[in-house]
């Protein structure tokens, strides 16, 4: 499946060039929260999107009727379509799949306060459509006039990767020729951060925020909340070749499984995460030896990183390929994480260059991995990338992203 366009709205930038450069710089982008007054929260740091103006992408009337997570999504989706060069073809065969973990929490929290303090008649009539998870997919479809299937998926922090995988299935099944797939979330708000702080999921390094997100580091103490969106334009390879599209890379395989274990904790032995990776490899028709590096979920929480390392060893043996984890730079974009990391993986597959993990100073001796640190690392040309995403509730999704094959038959 050809990736012909990509768009991002992230703490690392709103353009692919800025995003790619910041990820490869390998420096954490977390800082003190500026979006709201964080006093009283155990965690007062986040990876925020700075300088984003939704009116650059939408009329003010539409902006007012969308929650921040939907504004991020529409902007990233429009950037992806522009990057693809306006895909050709039948609008009835173009679809949209959007992943989210949190949905319209910002609007829901805001309107709940209005209801409690001012009464139910002061609740916005737009609360329902603004708070619903499906609002970004609906807004994107309407904005573009794409009349094919439009779907929202919520597999927690695996949602962005799940959306891309399901989009691949739509194209393979013949339902669509082109699908815009990705994820979005706006988790930097007081209610969401209070909730995840209470779970002790967030790092509490408030005095050194840029060093707080530490995937696979021995001293990791939780993730840093991020926000933003990322979308990819996926097209049938023959269709993309027919109209002369630029192809970044290909989605070669997709796997997904369930831990069926716990509302928040991953299955410690990693068996279902490992099975997810094997399914993605089998779907791509590849062996573990064909993988040049792993783009890990790597949240920087003690349990998730330990589980993922265990699963990687199960799949690849005692010497897994090099591992990167973009959350050290970006923080955790929640439902957008898997999509933003798929963008990283696609560019890495194209260039054969693996970005370093920010803040990785001391490996975990109980779970040794070959973590890429300090500077980008070259890997063998033509190697595929395995990109992992795991979500609360035991949702696991894996994507195999490979360099573009030039030999394509006519449609």
- Distances 269 to 299, 308, 367, 391, 393 between C-alpha atoms, Å: 17, 9, 12, 16, 15
Q: What is the DSSP string of 151-202?
A: EEE--GGGHHHHHHHHHHHHHHHTS-SEEEEEEEEE--SHHHHHHHHHTT-B
Residue 75 to residue 53: CA distance in whole angstroms: 9
- Residue among 122, 41, 105, 43 nearest 69 (CA): 105
Measured between alpha carbons, how far is residue 331 from residues 102, 187, 336 in Å? 16, 11, 11
Dihedral sign from CA coordinates of 63, 68, 69, 75: positive
Selected catalytic residue, list 105, 256, 332, 404: 332
Which of 47, 105, 106, 157 is catalytic? The answer is: 157
Residues making up the chain, counted from first to last: 411
Out of 24, 293, 297, 395, pick the active-site residue. Answer: 297
Distance of CA 255 to the CA centre of its chain: 16
Of the candidates 304, 302, 317, 318, the one whose C-alpha atom is nearest the C-alpha of residue 388 is 304
Q: Are strands 94-99 and 178-186 parallel, antiparallel or unpaired?
A: parallel
Question: Is residue 69 a contact partner of residue 138, using CB atoms and an 8 Å limit?
Answer: no
Q: Tell me which residue of 340, 379, 373, 336 sits closest to 153, measured CA to CA.
A: 336
The answer to whether residue 297 is catalytic is yes
332 is catalytic: yes
State the Cα torsion 89-409-3-376 to the nearest 10°: -160
Active site residues: 157, 297, 332
């Amino acid at each position: 499946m050809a990736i012909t366009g990509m768009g991002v709205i992230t703490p690392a930038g709103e353009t692919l060039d800025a995003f790619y450069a910041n990820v490869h710089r390998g420096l954490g982008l977390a800082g003190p929260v500026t979006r709201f007054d964080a006093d009283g929260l155990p965690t007062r740091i986040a990876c925020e999107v700075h300088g984003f103006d939704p009116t650059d992408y939408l009329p003010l009337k539409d902006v007012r009727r969308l929650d921040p997570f939907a504004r991020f999504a529409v902007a990233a989706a429009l950037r992806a379509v522009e990057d693809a060069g306006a895909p050709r073809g039948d609008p009835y065969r173009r679809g949209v799949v959007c992943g989210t973990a949190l949905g319209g929490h910002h609007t829901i929290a805001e309107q709940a306060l209005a209801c409690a303090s001012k009464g139910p008649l002061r609740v916005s009539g737009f609360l329902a459509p603004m708070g619903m998870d499906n609002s970004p997919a609906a807004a994107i479809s309407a904005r573009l006039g794409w009349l094919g299937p439009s779907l929202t998926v919520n597999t927690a922090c695996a949602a962005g990767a799940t959306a891309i995988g399901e989009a691949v299935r739509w194209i393979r099944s013949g339902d669509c020729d082109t699908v815009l797939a990705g994820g979005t979330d706006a988790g930097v708000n007081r209610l969401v951060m209070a909730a995840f702080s209470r779970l002790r999921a967030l790092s509490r390094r408030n005095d050194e925020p840029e060093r707080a997100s530490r995937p696979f580091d021995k001293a990791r103490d939780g993730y840093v909340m991020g926000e933003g969106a990322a979308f990819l334009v996926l097209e049938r390879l023959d269709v993309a070749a027919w109209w002369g599209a630029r192809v970044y890379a290909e989605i070669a395989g997709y796997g997904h499984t369930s831990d069926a274990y716990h509302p928040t904790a991953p299955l410690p032995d990693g068996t279902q995460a490992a099975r997810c990776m094997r399914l993605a490899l089998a779907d791509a028709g590849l062996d573990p030896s064909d993988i040049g590096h792993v783009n890990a979920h790597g949240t920087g929480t003690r349990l998730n990183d330990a589980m993922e390392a265990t699963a990687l060893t199960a799949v690849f043996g005692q010497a897994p390929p090099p591992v990167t984890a973009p959350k050290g730079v970006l923080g955790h974009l929640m439902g957008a994480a898997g999509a933003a990391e798929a963008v990283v993986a696609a560019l890495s597959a194209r260039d054969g260059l693996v970005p370093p993990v920010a803040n990785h100073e001391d490996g975990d001796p109980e779970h040794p991995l070959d973590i890429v640190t300090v500077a980008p690392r070259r890997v063998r040309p033509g190697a595929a990338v395995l990109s992992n995403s795991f979500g609360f509730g035991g949702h696991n999704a894996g994507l195999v992203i490979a360099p573009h094959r030039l030999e394509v038959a006519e449609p």
